Structure 1
């Protein structure tokens, strides 16, 4: 036995040595094939490159990064490690084909103001259910019926634009889009409740992008208190609607009338959170888009004349008595191309926030679990490969449909904006009455841009308006 022991020990040592070397080789091969982080700079601790992004033109910031690092690069924005993706294929990967690997994500401070049940914060079955309900209230048939009501709101908004008066274009468009949002959600709401909603919503809106502190007197604290009041107002409207048993087609009625297979219904909190979420989504982005359309038309006199000719032909056909029809809004070919080009040029949503729920590999690069994956719509919209001379405002480029996943002003996939057709309808109706009833001149700087947080012409595009003497 003593003579065998050395051989046993030697054999075991040989086996252990073989296993050790084999594991090292496997580990080395695995490390060689394992996806690596994309190139890029993470900037300063915590703040990363947030200051660089928000202190310069995002077109310059993102295009510089892409030229230096390629179509995939890493950075740190708002304290979050991010992987930026600048190709249509990457956008489709994150937002469509592999959307289940990326969840929408928002700061908790913003979630508290909108409400945790808003569909924007969810994915899976709950998100699908709520999205279908929102889409039902914004179907093409529903929008067809809204055309005369939206037109009435546009005309009402313009009543205060006296001859020679300077208006803040963005603020005026924001008032209009808010009224359209109220109409879409509640139908014809009594004036007292509309004013209460408007007053408290303005406070919430003002605190939405403020520093999130609960110290009394701060904008954010005021916004939280106003959000509670908004919830109470909506709850009162829900109770009144239930008593009257009205059969309306607005979003509130759609949410109230939903019943699950087991007879479950949406609570008042679920309904309130989604109503406030839709109000948020419907306002600033649409108002910003309308403001950019006004600017681009002002800057392109020949194009403005073409749009005027198209809209005046419609106005002449209708006269002073007939309202716009749904079919007319669907056949504003020149104006529709102007809207698409404005959305491309302005790229109001530069990128969506998505968070990887697991380690994800894309084109040999790693998107670690917990990191943000952000398709850069702005880079795609301004890529000369898809849009020649991208800095030139040229609506005629949309005489041919753009390549798939190259124009995404409303996002893409399961989290794309469900109100995109409503937004375009609002813009078309507003343009119709603007160009047939007014002429305008931009006051002050004609080239500056501000970010609040969406890109806007400087100071909200102050403009002096005059009513046309004849149409």
Structure 2
């Protein structure tokens, strides 16, 4: 965990040797060191996930791609998060968030913010980004299965009964089965739909770039999209809520910015759809989010393999 790495960094400095999931590695911290590694992608280093992560995400995932294949897949994925695409997702995202907040506020019991943020992120990914129409019961089952998948994504790659790795494989297979069913039903569910979801954009972008995604590629890409929208978003949301509760003056200044923009009245959000340009114009909100991400980054690290010998500042 973070405590382990912090104690080792204090003892050994920004660069030190350790082991993770049965493999030796070098832990690197420090802004200049990290910048050098990230800027040296494909020349100094290349992506290399732990075996369990690579297997569970699948060979067709963007995370497991390198070189030209990575560039082509990244080009296909780029349209999923373009300005136009994000604008089309916003009304549905707004609706899902408002529904969730109503449930939170009506609950007399204390809220487990991280758990509920995970549930909210998952619901947005499944219903908004992917456009799957599933019942509440199916959603709960998918959420539970996805939790098993994520919990065992970084596990010892030992395929034995009751091992975390085997649990992850079972969860992945169950997810892929449900996703394939939802994808095959999608043309029927999409009739009369007034927006394009991320899966629509992904398939359209692939065609524009002269490729057709196979069902297996779609399933792996879908799980990767959910994963990308799941843990990091929930972690960042929880950190944001926690810090706003600790800093009421910041919260009040945020409310004032919303009031000035005509988005808040008498403590309640003004009905109506938000536009992406409106969100971008909320400068103080942008600063608050960036500061939370700086202090409480939701990503603890990334994995790379050295392609050649190079030096770092220790």
- Kept in 2: contact 1:177–1:286 (CA 8 A): yes
Name which of structure 1's ranges 331-340 and 79-88 shifts more when overlaid on structure 2: 79-88
- Kept in 2: contact 1:103–1:122 (CA 8 A): no
- Kept in 2: contact 1:93–1:99 (CA 8 A): no
Distance 2:269 2:25 in 1: 55
Change (3 A) 1:301 1:243: closer
Aligned partner (choices 277, 289, 295) of residue 327 of structure 1: 277
Aligned partner (choices 200, 215, 220) of residue 268 of structure 1: 215
Map Cα deviations across residues 291-350 of structure 1 (whole Å, 9 max, x no partner).
111111111222222122223442139964323332321122222111111111112223
Partner of 1:91: 34
Larger radius of gyration: 1
Q: TM-score, normalised by structure 1?
A: 0.58
Structure 1 residue 120 and structure 2 residue 69: aligned? no
Q: For residue 363 of structure 1, report the CA deviation from its aligned partner.
A: 5.9
Change (3 A) 1:348 1:315: same
Change (3 A) 1:340 1:63: farther
Query: What is the SS of the residue equivalent to 1:208?
Result: coil
Change (3 A) 1:74 1:57: closer
- Kept in 1: contact 2:93–2:128 (CA 8 A): no
Q: For residue 91 of structure 1, report the CA deviation from its aligned partner.
A: 2.5
Partner of 1:40: none
Q: For residue 58 of structure 1, report the CA deviation from its aligned partner.
A: 4.0
Partner of 2:249: 302
Q: For residue 209 of structure 1, report the CA deviation from its aligned partner.
A: 4.0
Map Cα deviations across residues 410-429 of structure 1 (whole Å, 9 max, x no partner).
xxxxxxxxxxxxxxxxxxxx
Q: For residue 186 of structure 1, report the CA deviation from its aligned partner.
A: 1.6
Change (3 A) 1:188 1:329: farther
- Kept in 1: contact 2:52–2:154 (CA 8 A): no
- Kept in 2: contact 1:113–1:224 (CA 8 A): yes
- Kept in 2: contact 1:185–1:275 (CA 8 A): no
Partner of 2:179: 234
Gaps of 5+ in 1: 1-53, 366-471
Distance 2:29 2:153 in 1: 28
Partner of 1:160: 103
Structure in which a larger fraction of residues adopt helix: 2
Structure 1 residue 204 and structure 2 residue 149: aligned? yes
Change (3 A) 1:343 1:264: closer
State the number of aligned residues.
305
Distance 2:241 2:293 in 1: 12
Aligned partner (choices 164, 168, 171) of residue 115 of structure 2: 171
Q: For residue 101 of structure 1, report the CA deviation from its aligned partner.
A: 3.2
Distance 1:136 1:206 in 2: 29
- Kept in 1: contact 2:80–2:201 (CA 8 A): yes
- Kept in 2: contact 1:105–1:354 (CA 8 A): yes
Aligned partner (choices 145, 160, 180) of residue 124 of structure 2: 180
Query: What is the SS of the residue equivalent to 1:166?
Result: coil
Change (3 A) 1:80 1:221: closer
Q: For residue 166 of structure 1, report the CA deviation from its aligned partner.
A: 0.3
Q: CA RMSD in A?
A: 3.0
Between the two structures, name the one with larger relative contact order (CA 8 Å, sep ≥ 6).
2
Distance 2:64 2:37 in 1: 16
Q: TM-score, normalised by structure 2?
A: 0.83
Map Cα deviations across residues 78-117 of structure 1 (whole Å, 9 max, x no partner).
1444344444443233212453331211122222222221
Partner of 2:298: 348
- Kept in 2: contact 1:170–1:287 (CA 8 A): yes
Distance 1:55 1:335 in 2: 27
